[in-house]
């Protein structure tokens, strides 16, 4: 096992389990109405930016399964959207976007994640598409994007890409 994979395992485990712990303990206190930030998704995006698409999708899938196991959600509901978002964020790391332009891509991946997640959750329910987008996807995308910026401030040094 080379040093980069070992570093990805250690950092992914520490930050991933920390995000799951904070998601289950802290986020219920900071939610606004039905909007809650997804700290696990934030860590998946930041880890995928650092380690690439393969590691990003793997970390997203594993953390999604663990998040579903810890919470009362059906197993696998979070795994697919987080794996897709991790893969996309990892592929965007090839282009080496920095600053505000990179955040636009991450906001797009957060939106895609939230859309897939709530679409799977409300698949058999009688909820309209506009209700799903305006009451669940948009507010959570905005809140998670704000948390992405905050978490990136604290983890920027340890998740900095090598030049």
For 83-97, what is the mean pLDDT? 89
**8 domain-assigned:** yes
Q: Residue 143: pLDDT above 60?
A: yes
By the 8 A CB rule, do 34 and 135 touch?
yes
**160 domain-assigned:** no
**34 domain-assigned:** yes
pLDDT tens, position by position, 9-27: 999 999 999 999 999 999 9
What does the alpha-carbon distance between residue 106 and residue 120 come to, in Å, rounded to a whole number? 21
**27 domain-assigned:** yes
Q: Residue 122: pLDDT above 90?
A: no
**82 domain-assigned:** yes
What does the alpha-carbon distance between residue 80 and residue 84 come to, in Å, rounded to a whole number? 6
* DSSP 8-state assignment for residue 73: S
Instruction: Supply the CATH number for residue 7's domain.
Output: 1.10.1760.20
- % of the chain residues with pLDDT over 70: 98
pLDDT at position 131:
85
Q: Give bridge partners of residue 32 from the DSSP assignment.
A: 35
pLDDT at position 81:
96
**28 domain-assigned:** yes
Q: How many domains does the chain have?
A: 1
Residue 45 CA: distances (Å) to CA of 39, 74, 126, 139: 10, 22, 31, 19
**161 domain-assigned:** no
User: Which residues span the domain enclosing 104?
Assistant: 3-155
Q: For 32, list phi and psi in degrees, rounded to 5.
A: -115, 110
pLDDT at position 162:
63
Residue 124 CA: distances (Å) to CA of 29, 79, 118, 121: 29, 19, 11, 8
| Torsion angle (degrees, nearest 10) of CA 86, 87, 93, 99 | -40
Q: Which residue has the higher pLDDT, 157 or 113?
A: 113
Q: Which residue has the higher pLDDT, 144 or 161?
A: 144
Q: Residue 54: pLDDT above 80?
A: yes
**102 domain-assigned:** yes
pLDDT at position 158:
82
Q: Of 148, 31, 133, which Cα lies nearest the Cα of 89?
A: 148
């Amino acid at each position: 096992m080379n040093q980069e994979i070992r570093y990805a395992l250690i950092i992914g485990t520490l930050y991933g389990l920390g995000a799951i712990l904070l998601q289950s303990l802290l986020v219920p206190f900071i939610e606004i109405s039905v909007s809650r930030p997804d700290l696990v998704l934030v860590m998946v995006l930041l880890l995928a930016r650092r380690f690439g698409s393969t590691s990003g999708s793997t970390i997203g899938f594993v953390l999604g399964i663990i998040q579903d196991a810890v919470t009362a959600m059906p197993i696998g509901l979070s795994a697919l959207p987080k794996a897709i978002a991790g893969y996309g964020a990892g592929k965007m790391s090839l282009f080496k976007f920095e600053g505000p332009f990179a955040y636009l891509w991450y906001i797009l991946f957060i939106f895609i994640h939230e859309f897939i997640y709530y679409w799977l959750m409300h698949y058999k329910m009688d909820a309209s598409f506009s209700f799903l987008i305006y009451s669940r996807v948009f507010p959570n995308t905005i809140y998670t994007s704000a948390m992405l910026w905050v978490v990136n401030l604290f983890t920027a040094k340890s998740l900095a890409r090598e030049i």
